[in-house]
A = this chain, B = another copy of it.
Amino acid sequence: MSIRIGIVGYGNIGRGVEAAISYNPDTELAGIFTRRAPEELKSATSAPVYHIDQAKDMTSEIDVMILCGGSATDLPKQSPEFVKLFNIVDSFDTHAKIPEHFSAVDAAAKSSGHIAIISAGWDPGMFSLNRLLGNVILTDGADYTFWGKGISQGHSDAIRRIEGVLDAKQYTIPIPSALEQVRSGSAPKLTTREKHTRECFVVAAPGADKARIEHEIKTMENYFADYDTTVHFISQEELDRDHSAMPHGGFVIRSGKTGLAHEHNATIEYSLKLDSNPEFTSCILVACARAAARMYSEGLTGCKTLFDVPPAYLSSLSGEELRRTML
Protein backbone atom coordinates (compact mmCIF):
# COMPACT_ATOMS: atom_id res chain seq x y z
CA MET A 1 0.00 0.00 0.00
CA SER A 2 1.48 3.32 -0.97
CA ILE A 3 2.16 6.21 1.36
CA ARG A 4 -0.53 8.85 0.93
CA ILE A 5 1.04 12.30 1.06
CA GLY A 6 -0.66 15.65 1.44
CA ILE A 7 1.02 18.90 0.44
CA VAL A 8 0.29 22.06 2.42
CA GLY A 9 1.23 25.15 0.40
CA TYR A 10 1.83 25.18 -3.32
CA GLY A 11 4.90 27.35 -3.83
CA ASN A 12 8.30 26.22 -5.11
CA ILE A 13 8.63 23.52 -2.46
CA GLY A 14 5.04 22.34 -2.85
CA ARG A 15 5.51 21.94 -6.59
CA GLY A 16 8.84 20.23 -5.95
CA VAL A 17 7.19 17.72 -3.63
CA GLU A 18 4.55 17.03 -6.26
CA ALA A 19 7.33 16.23 -8.73
CA ALA A 20 9.29 14.14 -6.21
CA ILE A 21 6.23 12.01 -5.46
CA SER A 22 6.12 11.13 -9.18
CA TYR A 23 9.64 9.65 -8.80
CA ASN A 24 8.68 7.41 -5.88
CA PRO A 25 6.16 4.71 -6.86
CA ASP A 26 5.54 3.74 -3.23
CA THR A 27 4.10 7.21 -2.57
CA GLU A 28 1.01 8.96 -3.90
CA LEU A 29 -0.24 12.51 -3.79
CA ALA A 30 -3.52 12.52 -1.86
CA GLY A 31 -4.14 16.23 -2.15
CA ILE A 32 -2.80 19.74 -2.17
CA PHE A 33 -4.03 22.10 0.56
CA THR A 34 -4.03 25.82 -0.04
CA ARG A 35 -5.16 29.03 1.61
CA ARG A 36 -6.31 30.25 -1.78
CA ALA A 37 -9.64 29.36 -3.34
CA PRO A 38 -9.01 25.72 -4.39
CA GLU A 39 -10.75 26.15 -7.73
CA GLU A 40 -8.21 28.82 -8.66
CA LEU A 41 -5.25 26.46 -8.24
CA LYS A 42 -4.48 24.00 -11.01
CA SER A 43 -1.86 21.47 -10.01
CA ALA A 44 0.79 20.35 -12.47
CA THR A 45 -0.31 16.71 -12.15
CA SER A 46 -4.04 17.43 -11.84
CA ALA A 47 -3.97 16.35 -8.20
CA PRO A 48 -7.03 17.17 -6.11
CA VAL A 49 -6.86 20.60 -4.48
CA TYR A 50 -8.54 21.44 -1.19
CA HIS A 51 -8.84 24.45 1.00
CA ILE A 52 -6.48 24.19 3.93
CA ASP A 53 -9.47 24.20 6.32
CA GLN A 54 -10.67 20.91 4.79
CA ALA A 55 -7.55 19.05 5.97
CA LYS A 56 -8.94 18.35 9.44
CA ASP A 57 -11.69 16.20 7.90
CA MET A 58 -9.21 14.10 5.90
CA THR A 59 -7.12 12.48 8.61
CA SER A 60 -8.05 8.99 7.42
CA GLU A 61 -7.00 9.74 3.84
CA ILE A 62 -3.49 11.04 4.45
CA ASP A 63 -0.51 9.27 6.01
CA VAL A 64 1.92 12.18 6.04
CA MET A 65 1.45 15.90 5.48
CA ILE A 66 4.43 17.69 3.98
CA LEU A 67 4.30 21.32 5.08
CA CYS A 68 5.73 23.47 2.31
CA GLY A 69 5.26 26.95 3.77
CA GLY A 70 7.92 29.42 4.83
CA SER A 71 9.97 29.27 8.01
CA ALA A 72 9.34 32.90 8.99
CA THR A 73 5.61 32.77 9.65
CA ASP A 74 3.98 29.61 8.20
CA LEU A 75 5.81 26.68 9.78
CA PRO A 76 6.11 27.95 13.38
CA LYS A 77 2.30 27.99 13.40
CA GLN A 78 1.42 25.15 11.00
CA SER A 79 3.81 22.42 12.15
CA PRO A 80 2.57 22.24 15.78
CA GLU A 81 -1.03 22.55 14.56
CA PHE A 82 -0.94 19.95 11.81
CA VAL A 83 0.94 17.41 13.90
CA LYS A 84 -2.09 17.26 16.19
CA LEU A 85 -3.89 15.51 13.34
CA PHE A 86 -1.22 14.13 11.01
CA ASN A 87 2.31 12.86 10.79
CA ILE A 88 4.22 15.78 9.29
CA VAL A 89 7.47 16.64 7.57
CA ASP A 90 8.74 20.21 7.23
CA SER A 91 11.87 21.98 6.01
CA PHE A 92 12.03 24.59 8.77
CA ASP A 93 15.33 26.33 8.06
CA THR A 94 15.81 29.18 10.52
CA HIS A 95 18.82 27.56 12.21
CA ALA A 96 18.76 29.71 15.35
CA LYS A 97 15.12 28.88 16.04
CA ILE A 98 15.28 25.13 15.50
CA PRO A 99 15.41 24.25 19.24
CA GLU A 100 12.26 26.34 19.86
CA HIS A 101 10.48 24.87 16.83
CA PHE A 102 11.50 21.37 17.86
CA SER A 103 10.06 21.82 21.36
CA ALA A 104 6.73 23.13 20.12
CA VAL A 105 6.35 20.36 17.54
CA ASP A 106 7.57 17.64 19.90
CA ALA A 107 5.04 18.50 22.58
CA ALA A 108 2.16 18.53 20.10
CA ALA A 109 3.35 15.33 18.37
CA LYS A 110 3.69 13.42 21.62
CA SER A 111 0.29 14.46 22.90
CA SER A 112 -1.41 13.43 19.66
CA GLY A 113 0.69 10.31 19.06
CA HIS A 114 2.17 11.40 15.74
CA ILE A 115 5.61 11.63 14.19
CA ALA A 116 7.14 14.85 12.90
CA ILE A 117 10.41 15.15 11.02
CA ILE A 118 11.47 18.79 10.96
CA SER A 119 14.24 20.72 9.22
CA ALA A 120 14.47 18.14 6.45
CA GLY A 121 16.21 19.54 3.41
CA TRP A 122 19.84 20.02 2.57
CA ASP A 123 20.77 22.76 5.06
CA PRO A 124 19.43 22.04 7.57
CA GLY A 125 19.27 18.40 6.57
CA MET A 126 21.91 16.58 4.55
CA PHE A 127 24.54 19.20 5.38
CA SER A 128 23.70 18.85 9.08
CA LEU A 129 24.01 15.08 8.82
CA ASN A 130 27.44 15.49 7.26
CA ARG A 131 28.51 17.94 9.97
CA LEU A 132 27.48 15.37 12.57
CA LEU A 133 29.19 12.45 10.82
CA GLY A 134 32.34 14.47 10.26
CA ASN A 135 32.44 15.41 13.93
CA VAL A 136 31.95 11.91 15.32
CA ILE A 137 34.63 10.45 13.05
CA LEU A 138 37.25 13.19 13.21
CA THR A 139 36.82 14.45 16.77
CA ASP A 140 40.02 16.50 16.53
CA GLY A 141 39.13 18.64 13.57
CA ALA A 142 37.42 21.68 12.14
CA ASP A 143 34.14 22.11 10.25
CA TYR A 144 33.59 24.24 7.20
CA THR A 145 30.31 24.85 5.42
CA PHE A 146 30.31 26.79 2.15
CA TRP A 147 27.15 27.66 0.25
CA GLY A 148 26.75 28.25 -3.45
CA LYS A 149 27.12 29.15 -6.07
CA GLY A 150 23.43 29.76 -5.74
CA ILE A 151 20.54 32.10 -5.24
CA SER A 152 19.81 33.11 -1.67
CA GLN A 153 16.10 33.84 -1.33
CA GLY A 154 16.53 35.76 1.94
CA HIS A 155 19.21 38.05 0.55
CA SER A 156 17.27 38.62 -2.67
CA ASP A 157 14.23 39.59 -0.59
CA ALA A 158 16.31 41.97 1.52
CA ILE A 159 17.44 43.83 -1.60
CA ARG A 160 13.89 44.05 -2.90
CA ARG A 161 12.83 45.89 0.25
CA ILE A 162 15.19 48.81 -0.57
CA GLU A 163 13.44 51.90 -1.89
CA GLY A 164 13.77 52.20 -5.64
CA VAL A 165 14.36 48.46 -6.22
CA LEU A 166 11.80 46.72 -8.42
CA ASP A 167 13.33 43.25 -8.41
CA ALA A 168 16.58 41.52 -7.47
CA LYS A 169 18.45 38.23 -7.30
CA GLN A 170 21.47 37.57 -5.12
CA TYR A 171 24.09 34.86 -5.64
CA THR A 172 26.17 33.51 -2.78
CA ILE A 173 29.56 32.36 -4.10
CA PRO A 174 32.21 30.39 -2.22
CA ILE A 175 35.72 31.77 -2.64
CA PRO A 176 37.78 29.10 -4.47
CA SER A 177 41.04 29.84 -2.64
CA ALA A 178 39.29 29.40 0.73
CA LEU A 179 37.93 26.02 -0.41
CA GLU A 180 41.43 25.00 -1.48
CA GLN A 181 42.93 26.03 1.85
CA VAL A 182 40.35 23.98 3.71
CA ARG A 183 40.86 20.96 1.46
CA SER A 184 44.61 21.10 2.04
CA GLY A 185 44.03 20.14 5.66
CA SER A 186 45.66 23.29 7.03
CA ALA A 187 42.54 24.02 9.13
CA PRO A 188 42.60 27.75 8.40
CA LYS A 189 40.66 30.26 10.47
CA LEU A 190 38.48 32.05 7.93
CA THR A 191 36.44 35.20 8.44
CA THR A 192 33.00 35.59 6.90
CA ARG A 193 34.52 37.79 4.20
CA GLU A 194 37.15 35.19 3.35
CA LYS A 195 34.64 32.40 2.72
CA HIS A 196 32.01 33.86 0.38
CA THR A 197 31.35 36.75 -1.95
CA ARG A 198 27.90 38.07 -2.84
CA GLU A 199 26.80 39.12 -6.29
CA CYS A 200 23.57 41.07 -6.78
CA PHE A 201 21.52 41.64 -9.92
CA VAL A 202 19.16 44.54 -9.35
CA VAL A 203 16.34 46.10 -11.36
CA ALA A 204 16.05 49.75 -10.32
CA ALA A 205 12.92 51.85 -10.74
CA PRO A 206 13.17 54.48 -13.50
CA GLY A 207 14.99 57.50 -12.09
CA ALA A 208 16.03 55.75 -8.88
CA ASP A 209 19.38 56.73 -7.35
CA LYS A 210 21.53 53.71 -8.18
CA ALA A 211 24.51 54.91 -6.16
CA ARG A 212 22.32 55.09 -3.06
CA ILE A 213 20.83 51.64 -3.72
CA GLU A 214 24.26 50.12 -4.18
CA HIS A 215 25.47 51.79 -0.98
CA GLU A 216 22.43 50.57 0.96
CA ILE A 217 22.99 47.02 -0.23
CA LYS A 218 26.71 46.93 0.52
CA THR A 219 26.32 48.34 4.01
CA MET A 220 23.26 46.31 5.04
CA GLU A 221 24.00 44.78 8.46
CA ASN A 222 23.69 40.96 8.83
CA TYR A 223 23.16 40.56 5.08
CA PHE A 224 26.00 42.26 3.15
CA ALA A 225 28.17 44.41 5.39
CA ASP A 226 30.55 41.55 6.23
CA TYR A 227 31.04 40.45 2.61
CA ASP A 228 32.65 41.70 -0.55
CA THR A 229 29.56 42.45 -2.58
CA THR A 230 29.18 43.26 -6.24
CA VAL A 231 26.06 45.01 -7.56
CA HIS A 232 24.94 44.92 -11.19
CA PHE A 233 21.99 46.98 -12.40
CA ILE A 234 20.13 45.21 -15.19
CA SER A 235 16.71 45.36 -16.83
CA GLN A 236 13.74 43.29 -15.69
CA GLU A 237 13.92 41.50 -19.02
CA GLU A 238 17.55 40.50 -18.40
CA LEU A 239 16.76 39.42 -14.84
CA ASP A 240 13.89 37.22 -16.05
CA ARG A 241 15.94 35.80 -18.90
CA ASP A 242 19.23 35.11 -17.10
CA HIS A 243 18.40 34.76 -13.43
CA SER A 244 15.08 33.00 -13.04
CA ALA A 245 16.52 29.54 -12.39
CA MET A 246 17.05 28.42 -8.80
CA PRO A 247 20.46 26.76 -8.74
CA HIS A 248 22.26 26.17 -5.49
CA GLY A 249 24.70 23.88 -3.79
CA GLY A 250 27.61 23.98 -1.44
CA PHE A 251 30.21 22.09 0.52
CA VAL A 252 30.55 20.61 3.99
CA ILE A 253 34.17 19.83 4.78
CA ARG A 254 35.54 18.25 7.93
CA SER A 255 39.27 18.30 8.20
CA GLY A 256 40.99 16.60 11.12
CA LYS A 257 43.63 14.35 12.56
CA THR A 258 44.07 10.63 13.15
CA GLY A 259 46.81 8.60 14.84
CA LEU A 260 48.04 8.39 18.40
CA ALA A 261 50.24 11.46 17.97
CA HIS A 262 47.58 13.24 15.84
CA GLU A 263 50.14 12.90 13.07
CA HIS A 264 47.92 12.13 10.06
CA ASN A 265 45.47 14.31 8.16
CA ALA A 266 42.05 13.24 7.00
CA THR A 267 39.53 15.25 5.02
CA ILE A 268 35.86 14.45 4.47
CA GLU A 269 34.01 16.48 1.86
CA TYR A 270 30.34 16.46 0.96
CA SER A 271 29.10 18.64 -1.84
CA LEU A 272 25.96 19.38 -3.80
CA LYS A 273 25.51 20.94 -7.22
CA LEU A 274 21.84 21.56 -7.93
CA ASP A 275 20.03 23.02 -10.92
CA SER A 276 16.96 23.38 -8.73
CA ASN A 277 17.30 24.04 -5.04
CA PRO A 278 13.58 23.60 -4.15
CA GLU A 279 13.23 20.39 -6.19
CA PHE A 280 16.20 18.81 -4.46
CA THR A 281 14.90 19.85 -1.03
CA SER A 282 11.58 18.30 -2.00
CA CYS A 283 13.20 14.96 -2.85
CA ILE A 284 14.54 14.85 0.72
CA LEU A 285 11.12 15.77 2.13
CA VAL A 286 9.49 12.84 0.34
CA ALA A 287 12.15 10.38 1.56
CA CYS A 288 11.52 11.71 5.08
CA ALA A 289 7.77 11.23 4.63
CA ARG A 290 8.52 7.55 4.00
CA ALA A 291 10.59 7.40 7.18
CA ALA A 292 7.88 9.20 9.17
CA ALA A 293 5.24 6.72 8.00
CA ARG A 294 7.45 3.82 9.02
CA MET A 295 8.31 5.26 12.42
CA TYR A 296 4.61 5.93 13.04
CA SER A 297 3.71 2.37 12.04
CA GLU A 298 6.19 1.16 14.66
CA GLY A 299 4.44 3.15 17.35
CA LEU A 300 7.04 5.92 17.67
CA THR A 301 5.87 9.45 18.39
CA GLY A 302 7.35 12.90 18.80
CA CYS A 303 9.56 15.25 16.85
CA LYS A 304 12.57 13.89 14.97
CA THR A 305 15.24 15.24 12.68
CA LEU A 306 17.49 13.45 10.20
CA PHE A 307 19.80 12.84 13.19
CA ASP A 308 17.20 10.44 14.61
CA VAL A 309 16.20 8.54 11.48
CA PRO A 310 17.89 5.20 10.74
CA PRO A 311 19.00 5.81 7.12
CA ALA A 312 17.35 2.60 5.91
CA TYR A 313 13.96 4.09 6.84
CA LEU A 314 14.41 6.65 4.05
CA SER A 315 14.43 3.87 1.45
CA SER A 316 11.65 1.75 0.02
CA LEU A 317 14.02 -1.22 -0.21
CA SER A 318 14.19 -3.87 2.50
CA GLY A 319 17.19 -4.12 4.81
CA GLU A 320 18.21 -7.25 2.95
CA GLU A 321 18.09 -5.53 -0.45
CA LEU A 322 19.98 -2.53 0.86
CA ARG A 323 22.75 -4.66 2.33
CA ARG A 324 23.02 -6.68 -0.86
CA THR A 325 23.04 -3.77 -3.29
CA MET A 326 24.48 -0.74 -1.49
CA LEU A 327 26.54 -1.79 1.52
- Given A276-B259, A310-B307, A324-B99, decide whether A315 and B19 contact each other with a Cβ distance below 8 A: no
**Distance (Å) between the CB of A76 and the closest chain B CB?**
16
**Distance (Å) between the CB of A244 and the closest chain B CB?**
13
**Distance (Å) between the CB of A320 and the closest chain B CB?**
7
Residues in B with CB closer than 8 Å to A185 are 273
- Given A265-B275, A310-B308, decide whether A284 and B102 contact each other with a Cβ distance below 8 A: no
Contact residue among B307, B310, B323 (Cβ-Cβ distance under 8 Å from A319): B307
A309 contacts B307, C-beta separation under 8 Å: no
Residues in B with CB closer than 8 Å to A273 are 183, 185, 265-267, 269
Which of A83-91, A132-140, A150-158, A162-170 is near enough to bind chain B? Answer: A132-140
User: Which residue on chain B has the smallest CB distance to residue A131?
Assistant: B326
In angstroms, Cα B16 to Cα A287, docked, is 35
A279 contacts B307, C-beta separation under 8 Å: no
Residues in B with CB closer than 8 Å to A231 are none
Binary B-proximity of A271-286 (CB < 8 A = 1, otherwise 0)? 1111110011011100
B322 contacts A23, C-beta separation under 8 Å: no
Output the residue of A135, A136, A260, A276 with the most chain B CB within 10 A.
A136
Interface residues on A, range: 35 or more
Within 87-113 of A, Cβ neighbours of B (below 8 Å) are at: 95, 98-99, 102
A311 contacts B258, C-beta separation under 8 Å: no
**Is A314 located at the chain interface by the 8 A CB criterion?**
yes
- Given A280-B258, A320-B99, decide whether A132 and B18 contact each other with a Cβ distance below 8 A: no
Contact residue among B19, B102, B126, B129 (Cβ-Cβ distance under 8 Å from A258): B19
In angstroms, Cα B75 to Cα A291, docked, is 32
In angstroms, Cα B315 to Cα A136, docked, is 6
Binary B-proximity of A236-276 (CB < 8 A = 1, otherwise 0)? 00000000000000000000001110001111111111111
**Distance (Å) between the CB of A300 and the closest chain B CB?**
11
Residues in B with CB closer than 8 Å to A78 are none
| Complex A-B: 9 CB contacts under 8 Å | A98-B324, A98-B327, A119-B327, A126-B137, A133-B314, A135-B326, A266-B279, A268-B270, A308-B311
**Is A211 located at the chain interface by the 8 A CB criterion?**
no
**Is A20 located at the chain interface by the 8 A CB criterion?**
yes
**Is A1 located at the chain interface by the 8 A CB criterion?**
no
In angstroms, Cα B24 to Cα A324, docked, is 32
Residues in B with CB closer than 8 Å to A131 are 326
A132 contacts B99, C-beta separation under 8 Å: no
- Given A24-B139, A133-B126, A326-B135, decide whether A279 and B258 contact each other with a Cβ distance below 8 A: yes
**Is A58 located at the chain interface by the 8 A CB criterion?**
no
**Is A219 located at the chain interface by the 8 A CB criterion?**
no
- Given A266-B276, A276-B258, A280-B266, decide whether A95 and B137 contact each other with a Cβ distance below 8 A: no
Contact residue among B267, B269, B311, B320 (Cβ-Cβ distance under 8 Å from A132): B311
- If A99-B320, A133-B314, A266-B272 are given as contacts, then 4 extra A-B residue pairs at C-beta distance below 8 Å, sorted by A number, are A133-B311, A258-B283, A268-B272, A311-B311
Contact residue among B44, B128, B265, B314 (Cβ-Cβ distance under 8 Å from A326): B128
